[in-house]
Amino acid sequence: MSTVAPETHEVLKGISSGDLDTLTEAVGLREAHLASTGLDARTFALVKIAALIALDAPPASYAWQVPNALADGATPEDILGVLRAVAPQVGGPRTIAGAAELTLGLGLDLDEG
């Protein structure tokens, strides 16, 4: 096992527990990264959603990114458009999984069964 600096351990604990100060710092990094892309905030957020779908990202990633995208001006229809756009490249299983996570990220219920 590798040695982990105490500062690294604290940041990882903060992020994983949802510590607001740590997450605020992460958002600041997001803003700096956005500026370097040359994209507007809405497009940047939608590209990140496409990446989440392609990577079969965990639910927490969608829970964070979908509200960010909405706050940056994306609509639920835009988010559905992203899912449709990447579906041929990512395949059925990731499209289905992404649809479920996007549904939850939008605050909607998934029907049982």
CA distances to 6, 54, 68, 74 from 43, rounded to whole Å, are 37, 17, 12, 8
pLDDT on residue 24: 65
Mean pLDDT of 58-63: 90
The pLDDT value given to residue 32: 67
For residue 71, the model assigns a pLDDT of 93
Mean pLDDT of all residues in 28-37: 70
Residue 23 has pLDDT above 70, yes or no: no
On the question of pLDDT at 21 being above 90, the answer is no
pLDDT of residue 72: 94
> What are the CA-CA distances from residue 102 to residues 75, 78, 105 (Å)?
12, 12, 5
